[in-house]
Chain A
Amino acid sequence: MTARAAAPLLECRDVSVGYDRPILEHVDLRVEAGEIVALLGGSGSGKSTLLRAFTGLLPPLAGEILLFGQSLYELSLEDRRRLLQRTGTAFQQEALFSSMSVEENIALPLRELTDLPGKVIREMVAMRLAAVGLSGYGPRPPASLSGGQRKRIALARASILDPALIFCDEPSAGLDPSVAASIDETMVMFRDALGLTLIVVTHELESIRAIADRGVMLGRGSVLAQGTIDELSESRDPTVYQFFHRISDDALGELPEAPAASEPPAAPPPTAPAASVRDADRRPGTPQA
């Protein structure tokens, strides 16, 4: 990978994204080669919108997005396409082509974008199917698979070119724990064995802890905090705290005014997020169940 030099694979400089009005503003982040970064945040916090901006589908309202050191939206369409060929995206709704079989779906990027011989393509597809635990499902139509199987096929298709950077939008949302764990393992394998970098949109706490090297927490229209998962779970920001300790808005009650920004991670736990009795056992400082 030539891009493994100093430049980060992905960089956001003061980016605002949204449709008519901005959903997220002043986003600054860097993703380095070989890490798994989780984009975190509650529903509607702008995770998927930001991902659309990263993948060339939604120009930002302000700021600059650099992919492999090049400004994504200042390139010509042709150059942008070439840049995006070095990434892979697994969509939340899988977006498998229903008119093709599973193996044709996975082979599509290879057939369209490379000059590999057919035998090698078939071998690579078989390897990927084995890697996601679905050997023998190749000839089936995607419609005949379960939700979890389709998610794994989407991941196989997104990774088939060994792209330097893979985007996954909620790869394990709504799946049973064992399937979710196998998807997590596959993603970690891509990083360890192939040296790929992954940006994963998710709100599954367990999977975040299992795979992510770093997290970027979105909320209240911007980046609330970023750092390692341990750092994030000790953050004093009320939204981040709420997220990592699974506290509902009701249980949180009325919070005092939010702290200015993400505090240093080593800071002491927040002073009582709520006064209600039933969440007393979840107070910071007391052991978690």
Chain B
Amino acid sequence: MGRAERKYGIIVAPLPAGTAASKEYSLTELMVIAGAREIADGEMVLVGMRLAMLAYLVAKRTHAPNAIGLYDNGIIRTAATTEPLYTVGDPANIGGATQCGQTLDVMGYLQQGRVQVGFVGAAEVDRCGNVNALWGSNGSEAHRLPGAGGGCDIACLAQRSVVMIAHDRNRLRERVGHITSPGYGSGNGWREAHRLPARTGPSAIITDLGVMRFGSDGEAFLASIHPGVQVEQVLAATGWSLRVADALLDTSPPSATELEALRSADPNHFWTR
């Protein structure tokens, strides 16, 4: 199944009663909103770049107002920014911060095990949640990618790590060629054998088609599917034979509040379309 057959289109969601929010949303928007739902209220979050910045802002403005955001540059925020962000170093992310520390301060909290959830940037992810952010492939050609950033640190040390990625069989692979940020390696027991701290590891891969979670064997399975998406479509867009949960859930469509929070965080649709 090639790129042309992927379903990206605008779909119509039920309009919550009494709201005037847009009833249309894109599956990319739903991906970010599903990412936000991975953050529980009061948790410490190592935010990361790009879509993760938006997911954190949506969580803060909806169900997780007491979440604490930590950023690689040393910034710690208990109050969400009110302006759209392009990078975590934007002046708007620093004005009104709780603390402007150093990278090591934030990474120290992460290594102590205080950070419940972090987002990991990925060019490719595999069936055991291992992430490649270093070498992409396009057929026989290898392409050098920007690198790990803080993603590897989060994947090693956060209690739960979350990957958001467009669902494409060239990006959701059987096995990544380079493990930049470790997931469950080759399966159950691998993290322990590789001396990664206990009670850490990937908890979800969220795409524009659905949400995958991990079994006790360390392999991802399809846990929920976005509105309007068919299971066959997800399977065809996945680079391995993806298991499907017995009790497959439907991803809740964005609430009006979630959608409004996302669009106010990205009003020019720089990150989401």
Co-assembled chains A and B: no
